[in-house]
Amino acid sequence: MSSSTPVIGLTSYLEPARWGAWELPAALVPEWYVELFRAGGADIVLLPPGTRADVIDRLDGLAMAGGADLDSTLYGQQPHETADVPRTSRDASELALYRRARKLGVPVLGICRGLQVMAVAHGGSLTQHLPEVSDLVHRERPGTFSDHEATFEPGSRLEEVYGTGPTIVNSSHHQAVESAGDLRVTGWAADGTIEACEDAAADFCVGVQWHPEHPERRSADLPLVAAFVAAAQRYRSEHHS
C-alpha cells in the first residue's frame, strides 16, 4: 500500500459460502464495495466479524457495509417475525469498531446496515418492518433494489454532495432507523423514512440507507465516497504521517 494513500477498514459478512470444492463459513463482502472505495482513492482492508476494536488505531477510516438485520435486543425490542437470525459476533464487533472510531475521530461512512449500527450506537432504535408502516417500496423482495426519492437538510454534508433534493436513491432494506439517538437526521424518503444521519461536529461521520456500492450508483455517489476518502486522507496526514 502506498504510504500516502488512506487505508479504509471495511466491515465484512460472516456467512455460509461455496467456492471450488469448499462449502464453509466465510468472511466476505461483495466486490462492489471494494471497487467503490478504490474508485474513491483508498486502499482497503477487510474487517471480519470478531475484529478487535483497537485495529481502528492503525486505520484512516471506517466503512460499515450492509447486511443482515441487527439484533433487536440491542435497542430493547423483541425481534419481529420477519427479522433475520442475529449475527451476534458481527453486531458486537461493528458497534465496538464504530465506538472506537468515534473516540479517535476516525472518519466513518455507514451504508444501509452501517447507518443502523450508527443509530443504535447513539442510543437510537429501528423500525423492524417498513411494510407495516409505509406504502413506499423500499425493497420489493430480498436481493432487489428499489429506486425512490430522498431530500436532504440544508447545510448538511449530504446537501453539499447532492443538493437538497429530491434525489433518486436505491434501497434494498425492510428495516430502517426509527430514532437516530443523538445523531443528526439529514435525509428523508418521501414517506418520512430516515435516509441519512451525520454528526456535524465530526470531520466526517455519515450514514446512508441506500447503496452507493451498486455499480449503477457509481457516478452519482462517488462524490460522497470521495469526500469520505478526503477526510481519511486528512486524518492520515495528522495522525499517521
pLDDT per position as a tens digit, 103-146: 999 999 999 999 999 999 999 999 999 999 988 888 888 888 99
> pLDDT tens, position by position, for the chain (241 residues)?
447 899 999 999 999 999 999 999 999 999 999 999 999 999 999 999 999 999 999 999 999 999 999 999 999 999 999 999 999 999 999 999 999 999 999 999 999 999 999 999 999 999 999 999 988 888 888 888 999 999 999 999 999 999 987 999 999 999 999 999 999 999 999 999 999 999 989 999 999 999 999 999 989 999 999 999 999 999 999 998 7
Catalytic residues: 112, 211, 213
In a domain, 142, yes or no: yes
In a domain, 2, yes or no: no
In a domain, 52, yes or no: yes
From 71, 126, 128, select the one nearest 94 (Cα to Cα).
71
In a domain, 224, yes or no: yes
Identify the DSSP state of 191.
T
Identify the DSSP state of 73.
G
In a domain, 180, yes or no: yes
Domain of residue 233 covers: 7-15+23-239
For the record, the C-alpha cell of 208 comes out as 446512508
- In degrees to the nearest 10, what's the CA dihedral of 62, 235, 170, 67? 0
Q: Amino acid identity, residue 141?
A: R
Cβ partners under 8 Å of residue 148, min gap 6: 136, 137, 138, 168, 169, 171, 189, 190
Question: For residues 50 and 27, is the Cβ–Cβ distance under 8 A?
Answer: no
As a whole number of angstroms, the distance between CA 148 and CA 124 comes to 24
As a whole number of angstroms, the distance between CA 235 and CA 118 comes to 20
In a domain, 76, yes or no: yes
Distance of CA 120 to the CA centre of its chain: 12
In a domain, 1, yes or no: no
Q: How many of the other CB atoms lie within 10 Å of CB of 16?
A: 8
Question: How many domains does the chain contain in total?
Answer: 1
DSSP labels, 114-129: HHHHHHHHTT-EEES-
For the record, the C-alpha cell of 86 comes out as 442475529
Residue 204: CATH number of its domain: 3.40.50.880
Overall pTM > 0.85: yes
Q: How many of the other CB atoms lie within 10 Å of CB of 189?
A: 22
In a domain, 47, yes or no: yes
